[in-house]
Chain A
């Protein structure tokens, strides 16, 4: 008897609800943002004539263009830091930690905070960074500084410090996955042929983990670009990324201009991902 498989009509019925949900709650609203960004600034009506004037207004204001530059710059800085730290952690976990119990404990230590509120984790950084904060108290106690450092809270440095603690995990995870998939025999073969450990790493291990690195970088890039809460909470309304600009414009009722900033944010994110995918064929992720 031939095996009966799921027939496509059943598949469409099963796939329908989830697909429809994504269309109605995600795709349609996103396209609507693009449409609204072309509306004339005054009045909020579906009958509004379409214009590109809002985009012209954005690029005519240096302050706004600065925010765009700052957002991209912050994403790049974060990609470098989380890339290096994240790879180091992944390499240590997979290659150097041999005991399964210790590996599990370290792994849980890294992953558990992901299951808690990002907002609470952001607020938790405040007593750390302030003038009377834990970092300053520690620095004063060991005599590294004689006056509290004010540069931690309400600064880009503070935002970066907090973001590193949130997003490094995103860079670590995919690398752990690709490192695990490398057969032990490969580096061993290279070593038999007298390759130095550094050669083994650069010629064998690193290229094989590159898809994981790129996926991690994409995740960090997308998350930092979209992050506004860290800047708002730790930057104390002094620093704005594109997300903060959207909130500011929305609250002052400039909907079509907020839509313009949203479209620019999404476009930058898409461009960044497209560039990163040029580096490596993502479909190689998961191959041994």
Chain B
């Protein structure tokens, strides 16, 4: 049962998730209900293109979601466009809502694209979720 220790200062870390941009326009979850199991705050979310995207007019809504009990809250979101993915290595910032950025021990993390938009026909990204946390005591 991890708990924050009474220590000064923050420690930063990252979750990195590889995401294959889905074809079609349905909702797709790439990570479902992952429980890191410790308290942290999401500071930034950024996507970096691994394989360039294709698909005329492609546009999908990428979201990082926090689930508390059965309640979902959007922590970060962006509309990922074809132009955002046309170059390998290109960065796309996923806007974080600071008020929703706190995860507690039991909170679940999901990464998805919402239904709708216009499909990609190829492409993949690395999603880098940077967080800050405090030292823990067991």
Answer whether A and B are interacting partners: no
Interface residues of A (CB under 8 A from B): none
